[in-house]
Amino acid sequence: MDDKLISKIPEGPLAEKWTNHKAKIKVVSPANKRKLEIIVVGTGLGGASAAASLGELGYNVKIFCISDSPRRAHSIAAQGGINAAKNYTNDNDSVYRLFYDTIKGGDYRSREANVYRLAEVSNLIIDQCVAQGVPFARDYGGLLDNRSFGGAQVSRTFYARGQTGQQLLLGAYASLNRQIAKGTVKSYPRHEMLDLVLINGEAKGIIARNLVTGEIERFGAHAVVLATGGYGNVYFLSTNAMNSNGSAAIQCYKKGAYFANPCFAQIHPTCIPVHGTQQSKLTLMSESLRNDGRIWVPKNIEDVKKLRAHQIKPSDIKEEDRDYYLERRYPAFGNLVPRDVASRAAKERCDAGFGVNETGLAVFLDFKSAIERLGKDVIKARYGNLFQMYEEITDTDPYKEPMMIFPAIHYTMGGIWVDYNLQTTIPGLYAIGEANFSDHGGNRLGASALMQGLADGYFILPYTIGDYLSHLIQVPKTDTNAPEFVEAENKVKERLETLLNIKGNQTVDYFHKKLGNIMWEYVGMARNEEGLKKAIVEIAELQKEFWKDVYVPGTETEFNQELEKASRLADFFVIGDLMARDALNRMESCGGHFRVEMQTEEGETKRDDINFAYVSAWEFKGDADTPELHKEELNFEFVKPSTRNYKD
């Protein structure tokens, strides 16, 4: 085990680790909490819940978001639901079953202790959100309803139609606003973190840019919490909001925080297909649709040709001529296999020539059977807003014709390495939610992102950060005039000025699209040694071209979105290189990482537990140098890694 990668996993039985750990770590008294300051960067479910909880405890919190309001964080886009092991449906769910499904779904590349803790606190999240007034769906008797999601054979997903992320965020936002009104939390909307400030090796503040005025500002604290989401927009086209980015994480990486498992990116199977070269983002259709929707392509290539030529409609194809390929290949789970499995299966059918749109990159998600079985009104009650959204985008009525879907980049399982306390390799710097790597391994099960973000923010970080802060009670407030702040601010200004002064010939989007094409082609759904080596070379060449030929209009002392995009793209080059290197090093297929060289005869993933049962943690060694790989070995004491089987 690397000296820096001390995971701090507690000893003892799995079900007692978290309880024992909480009993042993230090706490801060209420009077002393008032002396301490905490910076939270990001206002999604992780950041908003953490800031609200820390403020309620009595800490002085500063929270930052790049949007005009915390409620516009990308968590709002999560549609389908949030997992918890309540067993309300009496279908034999349990904390252990949720733990096991999550470990298995992540292809045995996550820590047992972290995942069990996540399952353990999941039930508390539901109680918290109900108390906040989150309007979860209810059954006929008024009790909270559940539905199924991929990777599980029980119904454990709580939902609010197709707006679960929005409703959960509004609950956290209300709690956050209460603390802002009380004065324990100070909110800084339209502020972007551009650097982390270290004093004596500890995180003591950030440099942020006021995105409205362009002013560079210094903010100090006793600890910093990163809750800035994932880095999926490195691909340019993804389901993420367009301003979602990995820059804050990369600034922390460059200051000494190890970046873990960067190659683990999730491809979501139910995205509306790409429809043109000028598209700027992709739209996700909720995984919840796979509860009642059936995925298929025609059995006969002649029908495929007629569909592409618009000679027939999908509904014209007879039932016996449809290939419900997920039900055929994975009879036990059918359309509810995990996302990575469903995505690769769609790619396989399209690669074989059975894609159903003009580009050949689409399959059908059909509700014909469900409407016949349940009636249109029931389907409308469950998914009405999603059906409406699909029709507005595609001009096709999904009640009459099946939806077209295709896999797209959605979520990143990799992120800043953290220990059991959610602390990074930099003392005083914590990472929560999608910004860290800890809970999902190689693949995230649906409805688990909301669970992790709220678990970290409401029920884990508020306990563990106190263990660190208990040693800082006598430490005065951070002096933002310290030389470390001056140096960091000057470096930020220098970088922005450099970008503005290049005055090249190409737009930021020109380079971002090129990077996205490289990533999708070589570091996308299927990866091989030759392609990954090519990606590393091409990313480096494109990065050099960017710094010579990008054109960023305007100035740094004004609202300037092109400057924001350019700065974020500069960091995406670093992320893309890390992802390709990590994928090249990981000579196995697991979760969302599919190496062509490592697959079974049936085309399934083939893990190598002897050589790769570890977390890869990359250390920054300088802009001109290759990052160094460190390994945190994964020890499976309570579950036995086995080949993922969704067939029986």
Active-site residues, by number, are: 339
For residue 130, the SS3 value is: helix
Number of Cβ atoms within 10 Å of the Cβ of 88: 17
Q: In the numeric block, which tokens belong to residue 97?
A: 């079953």
d(CA 434, CA 292): 28
Nearest to 225 by CA among 49, 451, 483: 49
Query: What is the DSSP annotation of 146-170?
Result: -B--TT-SS--EE--TT-HHHHHHH
Nearest to 126 by CA among 458, 464, 420, 465: 458
Beta carbons of 237 and 516 less than 8 angstroms apart: yes
d(CA 49, CA 54): 8
For residue 354, the SS3 value is: helix
- Cα-flanking dihedrals φ and ψ of residue 196, to 5°? -100, 135
d(CA 436, CA 229): 8
Query: What is the DSSP annotation of 569-593?
Result: HHHHHHHHHHHHHHHHH--S-BTTB
Query: What is the DSSP annotation of 445-514?
Result: PTT-HHHHHHIIIIIIHHHHHHHHHTT-TTSPPP-TTSHHHHHHHHHHHHHHHHHHH---SB-HHHHHHH
* All residues at 6 or more sequence positions from 277 whose CB lies less than 8 Å from its CB, including other chains: none
* 503: exposed, middle or buried (Cβ count in 10 Å: 0-12, 13-18, 19+): exposed
* 510: exposed, middle or buried (Cβ count in 10 Å: 0-12, 13-18, 19+): middle
* All residues at 6 or more sequence positions from 106 whose CB lies less than 8 Å from its CB, including other chains: 115, 413, 439, 440, 441, 442, 443, 444, 445, 591
d(CA 536, CA 583): 11
d(CA 224, CA 401): 50
Beta carbons of 353 and 304 less than 8 angstroms apart: yes
Give me the sign of the Cα torsion angle 47, 52, 58, 64.
Answer: positive
